[in-house]
Structure 1
Amino acid sequence: MPPDLPPFTDALSRPAEGGSTLPFRPWPSLVIFDCDGVLIDSEIVVCRLTAEEFTRLGYRVSTEDVIARFAGRPEREMIADVEADWGRRVPEEFFVSIKARVQQAYATELRIMPGIVDVLDRLGTAACVASSAYPEKLRLGLETVGLYGRLAPDVVSASVVAQGKPAPDVFIYAAGWMRTPIPECLVIEDSVAGVRAARAAGMRVFGFTGGRHCAGGHRERLLVAGAEQVMESFGELQGLVPAAFWG
């Protein structure tokens, strides 16, 4: 962790020079949630469909491979990697088919992450979303589970920045959007790329392994990437940052 970041605290004031007390906001003053695999249990669905479509078109890859290589990264970067490995362009058929299949799967398979509604109900600090998903998919997922209305307009897609995760751009943009200093931000991330992006942005980050795509060893990978803590469920969050919650 960068040495200049503040420690966890529930305090509402701190001593200033000369012994006086200055008010300050408890850390964190902003919680930045990733979307896929954090707010919605979508990674397992999308990665399975992606693997099926690539394999059908001749680029053989498993669901586990897609999770390991591309989870948390923007689609445009996944496509660039596949094309470089495959030695050919991904056909337009892929994009048409995957969009239709994701829409259908979201309507029947998508689940909201257990405990997130309670967290949002009791969170006493600002919150926003910073995701690698393109805006239409991001909105579709959040609307399907009933979260878009309560989080919009503070929903940021990496499509608005130059580089996706693991570059820090989307998190820096989100902090600016929310007018919050970098050291006051806490990121909740399920992917190695996302954890690295948060750390590169100078933010503190908790890993999350509550999604169905998080197989054995994922907790350790998030810690190695730089996560301070790793949660298996959102029930753990208040105990880790009590100052961010009401009551």
Structure 2
Amino acid sequence: MLSYPELIIFDCDGVLVDSEVLSSRVVSETLGHYGIRITPDETATRFSGYTDEAIGHFFAAESCPEIPENFASIVEEATISCFPNELKSLPFVRETLANLNVLFCVASNSRTKRLDLALAATGLDRFFAAECRFSSSLVKNPKPAPELHLLACQKMGVLPEQALVIEDTPTGVTAAVAAGIPVLGYIGASHIADPAHQKETLLDAGAYAVFEDMRQLQSMLKDYTAG
């Protein structure tokens, strides 16, 4: 077993930035314009980790053919407009990134524009150079497919088995497992109403351990080393 990861791949929404409550509210409101009544909490429970495209396609196929083809763009623009006043980084993320002594990058199911603006709005952009950002815009099949994580490994010059992924949703964990990358589950974001249940969900999806405070990451890495 690898003694220490050579690359940490962070998810963005729900791991670096506390965006899921905001995103779920915007998706809920947008779906309401097309006669679909689903609460933000229900949206978060059912679709956390999904792309906006996938959510639009789901409802267009199941119950609402009136949903426009540019549904994802509508949601994206509405969400981005809230970033300056509402989006925050998760607690202790800055301190954690500043003190990591291992290569790291971000791989998000957000599209490039939204990922860049989320990092900029929270001041996390200084930790992630352009070449260390990987969005769903760069792959044909986003998470839960393994393509995005594999692309991150390839571009960062690290084999999948030498990397470590941090994800907050079963969608992301499934993608990492499919890519052959060990994955830690994170349950510290504000949208997680039942941490114990979410922990079990992530473990069932394939996470080898779960943590809830970003300050725990260094000790989690030591545990990984002890492996």
> Is the shorter-chain TM-score for this pair beyond 0.5, marking a shared fold?
yes
SS of alignment partner, residue 103 of structure 1: helix
CA contact (8 A) 1:171 1:198 kept: yes
**Aligned equivalent of 1:224:** 204
Give the alignment of 1:158-169 within 5 angstroms: 158-169=136-147
Seen in structure 2, the aligned counterparts of structure 1 residues 183 and 90 have a Cα distance that, compared at 3 Å, is same
| Cα deviation, residue 85, structure 1 | 1.3
Match of 1:61 among 28, 38, 46: 38
SS of alignment partner, residue 188 of structure 2: coil
Seen in structure 2, the aligned counterparts of structure 1 residues 235 and 85 have a Cα distance that, compared at 3 Å, is same
**Aligned equivalent of 2:152:** 174
- How far apart, CA to CA, are the structure 1 residues paired with 2:142 and 2:200? 23
Match of 1:107 among 84, 99, 118: 84
Per-residue CA deviations over 1:136-180 (Å, capped at 9, x if unaligned) read 111110000111132022100122112111111100010001010
1:240 matched to 2:217: no
Identity of aligned residues (%): 34
Structure 1, 166-175 or 64-73: larger mean CA deviation:
64-73
Q: Flag the structure with higher helix content.
A: 2
Match of 2:26 among 37, 41, 49: 49
Q: Which runs of 4+ in 1 moved over 6 A?
A: none
- How far apart, CA to CA, are the structure 2 residues paired with 1:93 and 1:133? 15
CA contact (8 A) 1:54 1:94 kept: no
**Aligned equivalent of 2:55:** 78
**Aligned equivalent of 2:115:** 138
- How far apart, CA to CA, are the structure 1 residues paired with 2:97 and 2:5? 15
Amino acid at match of 2:115: L
Seen in structure 2, the aligned counterparts of structure 1 residues 29 and 93 have a Cα distance that, compared at 3 Å, is closer
CA contact (8 A) 1:35 1:130 kept: yes
**Aligned equivalent of 2:184:** 206
**Aligned equivalent of 2:165:** 187
**Aligned equivalent of 1:116:** 93
**Aligned equivalent of 1:3:** none
| Cα deviation, residue 131, structure 1 | 0.4
CA contact (8 A) 1:130 1:171 kept: yes
How well do the aligned residues superpose, as a CA RMSD in angstroms? 2.0
Q: TM-score, normalised by structure 1?
A: 0.84
1:90 matched to 2:67: yes
Per-residue CA deviations over 1:87-113 (Å, capped at 9, x if unaligned) read 404136855653443123211111111
SS of alignment partner, residue 187 of structure 1: strand
Structure 1, 197-206 or 67-76: larger mean CA deviation:
67-76
Amino acid at match of 1:73: Y
Amino acid at match of 1:220: E
Q: TM-score, normalised by structure 2?
A: 0.91
- How far apart, CA to CA, are the structure 2 residues paired with 1:168 and 1:98? 25
- How far apart, CA to CA, are the structure 2 residues paired with 1:91 and 1:68? 23
| Cα deviation, residue 197, structure 1 | 0.5
Amino acid at match of 2:200: E
